[in-house]
Amino acid sequence: MKKGAAAKKYARVLIEIGLEEKSYRETGNELRNLSSVFAANPQLMRFLLNPMHKLEDRKGLVEKIAAALKTSDALKRFLALLVENRDIRVIEDISRVYSRMEDELSGRIKVKVESPVELDEQHISKIKKKLSDMTSKDIILTVEKNPALIGGLVFKVGNTILDGSIKTQLERMRESIRIAT
């Protein structure tokens, strides 16, 4: 099974458990904390994936990590399953997919906005409100300055990009002129 498919499967199971126990938000926070621990410690991941170490030792290590982070019992069992199936390597992907599912359940959308200039709070609030009105969802907005855009804005929502930048419009004009000649 590919990494992406495995991550989706695990995230779906984990969110279903969280929904049953009415703790999917807490589970998401715990999962993100665990994922960041593994991302910051590649040698830990190598140990957990190394079949030369006994399975009990590897499971014991994840249990200690989970206990130190005060992780729920359901997530501790989940980690043990990942170690046993040698799928602990996809913990970051699981966390990412889980976060998207959690946002969907909570009625949130993450939007990244690129602007050629720094946007003040008033403009950011207007953008958030407009997007919220259009989607009927809470908007988590990330704003980045990108002087190469010249003017306009670029919105990134998941895999969708809405590009209203002057840079792109100029590139399209240049391409039209090139084709016409």
Give the percent of the chain with pLDDT over 70: 99
Characterize the bridge pairing of strands 108-115 and 138-145: parallel
Please determine, for residue 164, whether its predicted confidence score (pLDDT) is greater than 90: no
Distance, in Å, from the CA atom of 49 to the CA atom of 178, rounded to the nearest integer, reads 54
The structure's pTM equals: 0.76
The pLDDT of residue 159 is 84
Residue 81 clears pLDDT 90, i.e. is over it: yes
Q: How confident is the model at residue 1 (pLDDT cuts 50, 70, 90)?
A: low
Encoding tokens for residue 160?
């969708």
